[in-house]
Structure 1
Amino acid sequence: MKRYSLSIALVSLFALMGCNKDLLNVENPNEPTTETFWVTESDAEKGLNAVYSRFYKEGTWMRWLSFRYDLASDEGWSSSPWTELADWTKFNYFNYNFWEGNNVHWEDAYVSIFRANQVLKFVPEIPFADENKKNQVIGQAEFLRALWYFQIVTLWEKAALVLEPGDPGFKPSDASEEQIWAQIETDLKSAIDKLPESWSNADLGRATKGAAKAFLAKSYMQQGKFDLAKVELDWLIEKEGTLYGLMDNYLDNFTHLNENNKESVFEIQFSDENKGGTGNDASMATGFQRTQFYAPDGIGWQDGKARSWLINEYKKEKNTAGDNDERLYYNLFYAGSGADFPSRDALVYGRTWQASWGDQVYIRKYSTTYFRNYEDYFAPNNYRIIRYADILLMYAECILETGGSTTDAAVYVNKVRQRSSVGLTSLQNSIYASSLNSKDAFMKRLQMERTLELCFEGWRWIDLKRWGLLDNAAGIDELKSRDVDFNNFVIGKHNRLPIPQIEVDNSAGQLTQNPQY
């Protein structure tokens, strides 16, 4: 199922706000208002679908959000000839209103929240034949609002906390990081009680109980509440073999050929059916656009590239067959790939390695090279925001942080390492066996295991924040050794983005700029 069965053309913002009636303010009978729209079950579904439809905007995982999470981390970088775009992955923030680097994320997040707030305000008053169905609509809106506040608190830390659909004169005000996290927890706990464990085929891709628990666990972990996170993850771990599990083939997680599979906890339903722009109309694009920006020169825009240290990390350890870790092949394009994987296709989008690409390392994950010879703005691959492999690695971290043994934690790391198509040995029998000797040693190994499994899936920046590597000189020195862009990093400043200056200016002093900006 693609696009959440959306009726996109019918569910723009609608200007769904009441207004005072006078002779100069006459309602257009062809445009819905708050009073005329939020009446039926169908209205509620359309309103909810409008929240999901915001995934098809440039400031989300569709395009630019990966620049913040992947390229600003030590996994990637930008060589874009668009200097300002590249600068925003190098912590060179000059124009706080730079659209593609800052404001677009803020706008898309808050429009999504506005739409979720509409659902949460109006749907409870709509009569449903089945109250359970109503609760599912409300639970999905709660999940989606929490999902977007998770991005906001991660990117800016301090921001506006808006829980009602405001009017055009609304002035945002400061909310602390603690207040935003508290609201995320409230929304997700409520959503968990309302959401089903799974959906039928027609509704695949909608938020589930497991997705809400996974995001609640991530929220707890970012706050250091590992005991609470472990409780939520327990539920997902117990569902292994029924709802969740690892796919035998690692590649199945990144193509359009086996989507919404057992490893998916929550994924965005992309499609290449519509090939329009990203406005609010019936032809709006619903494809995954990141692939166009990460593909090599002559195929895409090559704005995003990988750091070469990842190749070296993968190649430190052979699998049980004596071969290189196949995740290296599926995650990166590089000149030596053909020699490192002689049984695999050495072509890159049907081409031999071009001399102009030199020693560049390109991001292969989610590319469409497996079935076509070009990239465009309409890749059909669903984006898996959370996979079960991530759940297993999170669970290992929670075991460790709640006093469990390295041996117990290794059980869950080993599941990821020993996936049949990856075929690494257990940590105990690997060249990293000494990592089980202490909590600190195991944690450093787990940090590397996460990036080898999850690189370019949007979690590295968030992980770096949780592990405290952005908070002290020792952490930044470690990151500098892998990524020269961290030479520009200022501790206490670049841990967060500047709030878009236009938002600060328009708030009449209620929303203040982040420290050191």
Structure 2
Amino acid sequence: MKAYLKRILLFVICIACMQSCDDYLEVTNPNEISTDTFFRNLEESNRILTGVYGSMLNSWIVSAREEAWRSDMAFPGIREGNIAINALNYYQHVILEDNTFINDRWQALYQVIWRANELIDGLNSMDDSLKSQQEWTNQMGQARFFRGLAHFYLHSLYNEGKIVIRDAVPANQEEIQKTLSTSEEVIEFFREDLLFAYENLPPTFFDRTRVTAGTAATILGTSYLYSASQNPEDYQIAKRYFEDVINGPYGYKLVQDTSIMFVEAGDYNSESIFELNYTTELQLEDGSFDEESFATRNGRFSAPKDAGGASVNEQFTAAAWLIHAYSNEPLNTSDPRNTVTDRGTGLTRLRKVSLRASAMIAMVNDEDTEYYLSPSAPNKVNFSGKQRKYGFFKKYTNHDIAENEIEKGDTNFKSGKNVILNRLADVYLMYAECLLLGDNDIQGAIDNINPIRERWGLQLLDINADLVTGVPYTQQSLMDHLMFVERPLELSVEGVSIRAIDLRRWGIAKERYTDLSTQPYYVIDYEYYNDANAALETSADSFVQQGISPDPDNDPQLIQEYTGAAQFYTNGYLVLPTIETLNNPAVSGSN
């Protein structure tokens, strides 16, 4: 049975950023957690810790759909007709301070901080006999991890890192109306929390849902990699943390059985470092937009309509360049996994697309992977539809265990699919980047990229001949491969804003959107084997090709993507939301 976190009823926690300051100060909240009442022992504080974990299930923290639109990964809705205005704003990087997305996300992250601070305050109020126990240290390490993590996310996403540090539950109006801290101050604060977690948490817990020292090392390393573009010496610090994650006592290993990647059978696999644990087995009666529920809406927003996905403009589907890239990954022809038996002819042939592509995305030319219990993607999905959606992300859908998303939660708004925020493959790639840019170690970087490619049955990189030109890799050409091939294809729509942050920290976002806005793509017919009819059938105008269509009437040109992002992209940060600027006079007018 799928593991899950049981929800602890915490009454209604008073969230400062969700209330007016005056209400909080003038009214005694009978539902506010009292450390005198709830922290008499470590069993009670552990229930509060579970509430901290529960606050991470808020879908706005990951915002997979909105961040896919905001990066270079996805297209918003249909390619034929008008795009919904909210989706267009994200896609074009025109996101104002009153936007629901940035307000809800800000609230969600500060709710994590609020709950972590309540736990920290309560643990600190315990007597010495409790503080001397290892369980006290474990709980404090987890609480400080989440407080640090939420500040790290806020720093990475908003206002060039200048945010409000919330280091305690506010006791008066002055503590609520705090000013913005500098980016440097925020970095120092969240790294101190994460370092405490790293030094005090065990390498493993029996409960795989819990964060460990390895989780903290991953986030610490990531934070130093993010700052290394401004402080190159940080590559060395990041490298030390990544080396520890890869070689340390945490038990992380790259998954070799690719069939369990991003499916229920692979929950909490050996590669998973930090995973959000959703379920539809508890409190299914909760509303579809109840962020205290255990379900996520991402299945609806990324599944095809034929399998219970949203229609028209609510989805995030793969960008044309990404579909084309997945379709053309070079296979290692000597890997036996890449040889399959054609269901139509009975003869052996090479796979139509790579194992990595099959795990990440559904496309018309993937005839070798089941999809929503159908023999292949084109057997399930009408890729010829007027909506012109040609690639569907798999990381958030129940394509492995259901014919339709509705089956798993009584509505397609509710999915129990787990969400992986950090995994070992990402650490390998970040470590490779440290070696490449910090040490100019091209071979070392390749040695950390190739294990990922090998497990997918892809051609390995050779320092003497790059995959495109055949000439030896240089630092720049290998970095280009990392930026435009390896990281986006391995980590597409994954984690918390990974791709958008990558483009920004590399200083290439504007250039990237400008380049994509000039890249033409068109679609042609694709012939596939229809198992129900035991015959070849044609999916018209469904197979993405790069270039100018030689026959636009029969092979239509796709609308140009990313033209708005190329025009409007600024610095890649979200502005301060009105939930803060209107309720906190100390930051009003800071945008």
Query: For this structure pair, what is the TM-score category when the shorter chain's length is used for normalisation?
Result: 0.7 to 0.9
Query: Residues 302-341 of structure 1: matches in 2 within 5 Å?
Result: 302-321=314-333, 322-323=350-351, 324-338=353-367
3-state SS in 2 of match to 1:370: coil
For 1:424, the equivalent position in structure 2 comes to 459
Task: Say if 2:233 is the partner of 1:232.
Answer: no
Question: In the TM superposition, what whole-angstrom CA distance separates every residue of 1:386-426 from its partner, at most 9, and x where no partner exists?
Answer: 1111111111001112214211110010010000x434333
Query: Residues 456-495 of structure 1: matches in 2 within 5 Å?
Result: 456-458=493-495, 459-470=498-509, 474-481=511-518, 484-485=561-562, 487-489=564-566, 493-495=570-572
The code of the aligned residue for 2:515 comes to E
Query: Residues 308-387 of structure 1: matches in 2 within 5 Å?
Result: 308-321=320-333, 322-323=350-351, 324-338=353-367, 345-347=375-377, 350-351=380-381, 353=383, 355-375=385-405, 376-387=412-423
Q: TM-score, normalised by structure 1?
A: 0.86
Task: Say if 2:225 is the partner of 1:196.
Answer: no
Task: Say if 2:590 is the partner of 1:513.
Answer: yes
Distance in 1 (alpha carbons) for counterparts of 2:569 and 2:360: 32
For 1:245, the equivalent position in structure 2 comes to 253
For 2:69, the equivalent position in structure 1 comes to 71
Question: In the TM superposition, what whole-angstrom CA distance separates every residue of 1:90-142 from its partner, at most 9, and x where no partner exists?
Answer: 21224x2222x210000000011011111122202224286211111011111
Question: In the TM superposition, what whole-angstrom CA distance separates every residue of 1:354-411 from its partner, at most 9, and x where no partner exists?
Answer: 6345453222233212221222233222111111111111110011122142111100
Question: In the TM superposition, what whole-angstrom CA distance separates every residue of 1:160-206 from its partner, at most 9, and x where no partner exists?
Answer: 11111114732131112222121121111111011111111xx2211
For 1:182, the equivalent position in structure 2 comes to 188
The code of the aligned residue for 1:226 comes to Y
Distance in 1 (alpha carbons) for counterparts of 2:301 and 2:392: 11
For the aligned residue pairs, the C-alpha RMSD in angstroms reads 3.1
Task: Return the offset for 1:11.
Answer: 5.5
Moved more, 421-430 or 255-264: 421-430
Q: 1:117 to 1:435 in 2, by over 3 A?
A: farther
Which is greater in Rg?
Answer: 2
The code of the aligned residue for 2:375 comes to D
Contact 1:48 1:137 in 2 (8 A): yes
For 2:575, the equivalent position in structure 1 comes to 498
Q: 1:422 to 1:166 in 2, by over 3 A?
A: farther
User: Gapped runs of 5+ residues in structure 1?
Assistant: 17-23
Distance in 2 (alpha carbons) for counterparts of 1:27 and 1:380: 33
Distance in 2 (alpha carbons) for counterparts of 1:452 and 1:15: 38
3-state SS in 1 of match to 2:421: strand
Distance in 2 (alpha carbons) for counterparts of 1:39 and 1:489: 56
Task: Return the offset for 1:7.
Answer: 4.0
The code of the aligned residue for 2:583 comes to N
For 2:275, the equivalent position in structure 1 comes to 267
Task: Return the offset for 1:350.
Answer: 4.3
Distance in 2 (alpha carbons) for counterparts of 1:306 and 1:212: 31
For 2:123, the equivalent position in structure 1 comes to 123
Distance in 1 (alpha carbons) for counterparts of 2:77 and 2:382: 22
Distance in 2 (alpha carbons) for counterparts of 1:117 and 1:377: 31
Distance in 2 (alpha carbons) for counterparts of 1:481 and 1:456: 23
Q: 1:296 to 1:111 in 2, by over 3 A?
A: same
Question: In the TM superposition, what whole-angstrom CA distance separates every residue of 1:57-94 from its partner, at most 9, and x where no partner exists?
Answer: 23123xxx113432210011312764224422321224
Out of 163, 177, 189, the position equivalent to 1:171 is 177
Distance in 1 (alpha carbons) for counterparts of 2:259 and 2:66: 24
Query: Residues 51-62 of structure 1: matches in 2 within 5 Å?
Result: 51-61=52-62
Q: 1:426 to 1:105 in 2, by over 3 A?
A: same
For 1:20, the equivalent position in structure 2 comes to none
Q: 1:12 to 1:26 in 2, by over 3 A?
A: closer
Q: 1:488 to 1:391 in 2, by over 3 A?
A: closer
User: Gapped runs of 5+ residues in structure 2?
Assistant: 17-25, 229-233, 334-349, 406-411, 520-559
Q: 1:507 to 1:235 in 2, by over 3 A?
A: same
The code of the aligned residue for 1:286 comes to F
Distance in 1 (alpha carbons) for counterparts of 2:370 and 2:277: 31
Query: Residues 85-100 of structure 1: matches in 2 within 5 Å?
Result: 85-94=87-96, 96-99=97-100
The code of the aligned residue for 2:420 comes to R
Task: Return the offset for 1:26.
Answer: 8.2
For 1:103, the equivalent position in structure 2 comes to 103
3-state SS in 1 of match to 2:61: coil
Query: Residues 405-420 of structure 1: matches in 2 within 5 Å?
Result: 405-419=441-455
Distance in 2 (alpha carbons) for counterparts of 1:142 and 1:288: 25
Q: 1:26 to 1:116 in 2, by over 3 A?
A: closer
Task: Say if 2:78 is the partner of 1:41.
Answer: no
Task: Return the offset for 1:208.
Answer: 0.7
Contact 1:56 1:278 in 2 (8 A): no
For 2:490, the equivalent position in structure 1 comes to 453
For 2:427, the equivalent position in structure 1 comes to 391
Q: 1:25 to 1:347 in 2, by over 3 A?
A: closer
Task: Return the offset for 1:330.
Answer: 2.5
The code of the aligned residue for 2:309 comes to G
3-state SS in 2 of match to 1:10: coil
Distance in 2 (alpha carbons) for counterparts of 1:496 and 1:160: 15
Q: 1:147 to 1:129 in 2, by over 3 A?
A: closer
Contact 2:252 2:272 in 1 (8 A): yes
Task: Say if 2:174 is the partner of 1:137.
Answer: no
Count matched residues: 493
Distance in 2 (alpha carbons) for counterparts of 1:98 and 1:495: 16
Task: Return the offset for 1:496.
Answer: 1.0
- State the identity as a percent: 22
The code of the aligned residue for 1:174 comes to L
For 2:148, the equivalent position in structure 1 comes to 146
Moved more, 394-403 or 479-488: 479-488
3-state SS in 2 of match to 1:385: strand
Distance in 2 (alpha carbons) for counterparts of 1:279 and 1:40: 35
Distance in 2 (alpha carbons) for counterparts of 1:370 and 1:142: 36
Moved more, 220-229 or 5-14: 5-14
